[in-house]
């Protein structure tokens, strides 16, 4: 059971901020919030345009991570024909993108 006066001594702050320090802390907080909002606003949106017709852009599994297979026109047809020769998840991903984009192979 706590003794008389112990609660006040334990909960009394050692130092009270001056009005100037409080204003400085509020300004720092405001600057931080504004900077965070600016970063979020600058990075919002879709920066990845859609793939043009006749082109492919397939995200497939690579050696280290995701790999992008892309090409347009004759290059896309060659990549689709090459992928159609294999039976693997990577090849299936490229072939599916070729079919979705309407590239003949």
Give the bridge partners for 55, in sequence order: 72
Mean pLDDT for 40-66 is 86
Read off the pLDDT of residues 62-95 as tens digits, 9 standing for 90 and up. 888 899 999 999 999 999 999 999 999 999 999 9
Q: What is the pLDDT of residue 32?
A: 98
Q: How many CA atoms lie within 13 A of 88 on its CB side?
A: 9
> Distance between CA atoms of 36 and 39, rounded to whole angstroms?
5
Give the bridge partners for 58, in sequence order: 69
């Amino acid at each position: 059971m706590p003794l008389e006066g112990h609660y006040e001594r334990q909960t009394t702050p050692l130092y009270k901020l001056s009005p100037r320090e409080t204003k400085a802390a509020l300004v720092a907080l405001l600057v931080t919030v504004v900077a965070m909002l600016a970063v979020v606003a600058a990075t919002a949106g879709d920066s990845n345009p859609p793939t043009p017709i006749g082109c492919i852009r397939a995200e497939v599994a690579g050696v280290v991570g995701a790999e992008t297979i892309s090409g347009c026109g004759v290059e896309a047809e060659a990549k689709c024909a090459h992928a159609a020769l294999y039976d693997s998840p990577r090849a299936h991903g490229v072939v599916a993108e070729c079919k979705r984009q309407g590239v003949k192979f």
